[in-house]
Amino acid sequence: MFQLEKRHQWVLLILAAVILFGAGHKYARMQTAGPLVTDNLVPGAVENGDPGNGSTARSSETKEIQHVIVHVAGAVQKPGVYRLPTGSRVVDAVNMAGPTENSALDYMNLAATLEDGKQITVYSVEQISRQQLPGAVQGALTAEGVVSPGGNGAGSININTASMAQLEELPGIGPSLAQRIIDYRTQHGPFLTIEDIQNVSGIGEKRFEQMKNLICVN
């Protein structure tokens, strides 16, 4: 009877050991498997961005438009091509090129925002006072930019100096196009001929025909 009970005790001890070992092994596997499942919830994620994903592509696009390149010409100390941060103003480009005592800066909109690939022409005081702008026709200018009666193109609107309100008086020119004309001459300098107004986006041959007898570049 004593021998039978001793064998039962050993059996119970062995069973208990097997149960404990199995439980411990299963618990260890669960702990190890947990992080693997979590990692798989976001496949392909890399902290700093994978070279082929959209995040890096957007970052590259941002870097590409961080600067604008413009050409500063005319009455400046160092005419040439300059690279400036996006959002810079005309005054920043002119200062980099070095204005001279002879630069007619009052003729320009120095507060205008620079556009990539544009040319900024700084005219001299002599050119402005004598109206010797390239391609300009001699005529009398009023402060509002309209040629006074008796000059060449009498009664016409000077597209080089006219205000936004005056430009809107032209057929087919609304606030949006008037602003484009002002922006264009700020970036490129005065129009050399009346035909040059067709370089402004939105002004084609048909619209030009409607206004050509009402404008001048005096």
Class of domain 133-216: mainly alpha
Q: What is the mean pLDDT of each run of 10 residues along the chain (218 residues)?
A: 59 74 63 42 38 50 72 91 93 93 83 86 77 42 35 65 89 92 88 90 91 86
Q: How confident is the model at residue 59, as a pLDDT?
A: 52
Question: Would you kindly state where each structural domain of the chain is located, as residue ranges?
Answer: 63-127, 133-216
Q: What pTM does this model have?
A: 0.40
Question: At CA 182, angle to CA 179 and CA 186, rounded to 5?
Answer: 135
- Rounded CA-CA distance 174/172 in Å is 7
Domain 63-127: which CATH number of 3.40.50.1950, 3.30.470.20, 3.10.20.600, 1.10.10.10: 3.10.20.600
The residue with tokens 């005319």 is 74
Q: How confident is the model at residue 187, as a pLDDT?
A: 86
Q: How confident is the model at residue 50, as a pLDDT?
A: 46
Strands 215-216 and 157-158: parallel
Q: How confident is the model at residue 49, as a pLDDT?
A: 42
Q: How confident is the model at residue 51, as a pLDDT?
A: 44
